[in-house]
Amino acid sequence: MSERRDFDQASGFGSPTSNRLDPGSGRPAASAAGPAASAASGQGDAPSNPAASGPSGSASAAPGSGSATPGSGSAATGSASAASGAPPATGPESVLTCAACGKKNRIRPSDRGVPHCGSCGKPLPWLVNATDATFDLEAKAAVTVLVDLWAPWCGPCRVVGPILEELARDFAGRIKVVKVNVDENPALAARFGATSIPTLVVIRNGRVLDRIVGALPKSQLTIRLTPYLLRT
C-alpha cells in the first residue's frame, strides 16, 4: 500500500467548519474555513465567531474538552517511566488510563512498540499533550501519529477533541494522538502551517501523509484515517 493516499474532500465529507487564525497574532480571525480540505486548498470561508458554536451550531462548550489531563484517561506532561521496551532515561511523562481495566499507567515517549497496561496487558489509548519543546520526542512512534492543532477558544476543536479520545481507544496500539495548543506553542502552528483550526496532521515515520482541516464527524474521520491505521 502506498504511504501517501489522496482523498477527495469535496465528496462525502459534509461541510465541517474551522476557525481561521490571524497570521500576525496567531489569534482567531473573523472568519472560519469552509469544507474540510488541505490547508492549501483555498476553499472559501464562512463567517464565524471563534468563541461560538462548532459545526453543530450549539453554544460553546468548556474550553479544551478532549485535551489531556492527569488521571482523565489521557495525558499530562512531566517526567517518569516508559511506553514499551527499555525505559527512556528522559522525556515528558504521560498518564494513560487503560480502557479495559481503568488502571493508570505512567509512560514516556518511545519509538519502539506501543504502551500496554501494566495491570491487564492491553494496549493503552495513546493520547498526549506536546509543546514546542517536547513535540519531536512525542512524534517519534512506531505507529501512525495524528497531530491535533487546537485552541481552547475554538468551538470546532472542542467537537473534535472527544472524537480523538474515542479513536485513541478504538485503535489502541495503532495510533498515537499528539495534541498541540497553538496559543501556547506558536512555533508548531507555524511549522505545520495551521492557519485554520482544528488542523489534523497524519505523520508516519517522520513523513506528513495527510492533513485534515475542520471538524469531521467520527464516522467520516475514521474513514479518512483508516488507510493509515492498517497493519502492514
> β-strands 175-181, 126-129: how paired?
parallel
Among 98, 101, 117, 154, the one annotated catalytic = 154
pLDDT digits (tens, 9 = 90+) for 199-228: 999 999 999 999 999 999 999 999 999 999
Based on the residue annotation, tell me whether 157 is a catalytic residue of this protein. yes
Strand partners, 196: 20
pLDDT digits (tens, 9 = 90+) for 26-63: 666 644 334 333 333 333 333 333 333 333 333 333 33
Give SS3 for 219.
Answer: helix
How high does pLDDT run on average in the chain? 74
Containing 127, the helix (H) or strand (E) segment is: strand 126-129
Measured CA to CA, the distance from residue 106 to residue 92 in angstroms comes to: 10
Give SS3 for 224.
Answer: helix
pLDDT at 189 over 50: yes
| Cell 497570521, located at residue | 23
DSSP state of 116: B
Q: Find all residues with CB under 8 Å of 163, minimum gap 6, and list them.
A: 66, 217, 218, 221
What is the secondary structure of 165-208 as a DSSP string? HHHHHHTTTTEEEEEEETTT-HHHHHHTT-SEESEEEEEETTEE
- Give the chain's length: 232
Containing 149, the helix (H) or strand (E) segment is: strand 144-150
DSSP state of 221: H
Query: Dihedral of the CA atoms 169, 86, 231, 40 (nearest 10)?
Result: 70
Q: What local confidence, expressed as pLDDT, does residue 64 receive? A: 38
Cα–Cα–Cα angle for 62, 65, 66, rounded to 5 degrees: 175
Measured CA to CA, the distance from residue 48 to residue 225 in angstroms comes to: 27
> β-strands 207-213, 196-197: how paired?
unpaired
pLDDT digits (tens, 9 = 90+) for 96-111: 999 999 999 999 999 9
Q: What local confidence, expressed as pLDDT, does residue 97 receive? A: 96
Q: How far is CA 129 from CA 23, 97, 172, in A?
A: 24, 14, 17
Are 221 and 15 within 8 A, CB to CB?
no
Q: Tell whether pTM > 0.85.
A: no
Based on the residue annotation, tell me whether 101 is a catalytic residue of this protein. no
Among 101, 117, 120, 157, the one annotated catalytic = 157
